Amino acid sequence: MRDQVSVLFTEEQIARRVAELGEEITRAYGGREICVLGLMKGSLVFMSDLIRRIPLDLTVHLVRVTSQREQAAGRILTEIVYSTSVPLEGKDVLLVADIVDTGITLSYLLAHIHEHGPASLRVCALVDKPEARKIDVHPDWTAFPVHEPLADRFLVGYGLDWMERFRGLPFIGTIPRPAPR
């Protein structure tokens, strides 16, 4: 299956971009401790590289949003599961997301995190597809914005999956957009 993947961003491009983002994020927090919250599972590889480029005191947590697709009504998001009970109140929270596509997952999650009363809440996304947005939400940092017509292809690798496959590829690649599940 790997031979169907075309390389979009190489390992070297990703490493350079992650280092740049690490510096920007570090500067933005001015020495404060941060709480990094990774959106499972797609952001695992990105987050593990990114936190090593942020020389601040930080804690790491994971969150998962389960979703269900419905035929006509679009998608209904059902559940948010945190890895451990995360004390977000009063914390500077950095949510690390894999792909912001329609924005539904991110906006739903942000609303829930806000209920915990963090001191601040910012988002760093690996990939942003701004033209696919159904809900207006913007990451504070994006490693790679992907625009039309490329946004029509399905991205895999570096943590991103298609049906749980391809997460281990060291680069970000594309496969032809699969039929809707």
Report whether 174 contacts 153 (CB < 8 A): yes
Binding interface with ligand IMP (CB under 6 A): 42, 98-106, 154-155, 160
Q: Which residues are known to be catalytic?
A: 101
Q: Considering the complex, what minimum distance in angstroms separates the CB of residue 57 from ligand IMP? A: 27
Q: Decide if residue 140 touches Mg ion (CB under 5 A).
A: no
Any long-range contacts for 72-76 (C-beta under 8 Å, 24+ apart)? 74/104, 75/104
Instruction: Say whether 20 sits in a helix, a strand or coil.
Output: helix
**Site size with Mg ion, rule: CB under 5 A:** 1
CA–CA separation, 156 vs 159, rounded Å? 7
Residue whose CB is less far from ligand IMP, 32 or 165: 165
Q: Decide if residue 11 touches Mg ion (CB under 5 A).
A: no
Residue whose CB is less far from ligand IMP, 31 or 66: 66
Written as one letter, the residue type at 59 is T
CA–CA separation, 89 vs 115, rounded Å? 9
Q: Decide if residue 44 touches Mg ion (CB under 5 A).
A: no
Residue whose CB is less far from Mg ion, 31 or 180: 180
CA–CA separation, 97 vs 82, rounded Å? 14
Instruction: Say whether 163 sits in a helix, a strand or coil.
Output: coil
- What are the tokens at 176? 């032809």
In the bound state, the residue with its beta carbon closest to Mg ion is: 161
| Contacted by 118, from Mg ion, ligand IMP, none: CB < 5 to 8 Å by type | none
Report whether 146 contacts 127 (CB < 8 A): yes
Q: Considering the complex, what minimum distance in angstroms separates the CB of residue 135 from ligand IMP? A: 8
Among 161, 167, 169, 175, binds Mg ion (CB under 5 A): 161
Residues ≥6 apart with Cβ < 8 Å to 147:
129, 130, 131
Q: Considering the complex, what minimum distance in angstroms separates the CB of residue 132 from ligand IMP? A: 7
Residue whose CB is less far from ligand IMP, 30 or 179: 179
Q: Considering the complex, what minimum distance in angstroms separates the CB of residue 163 from Mg ion? A: 8
The residues binding Mg ion (CB under 5 A) are 161
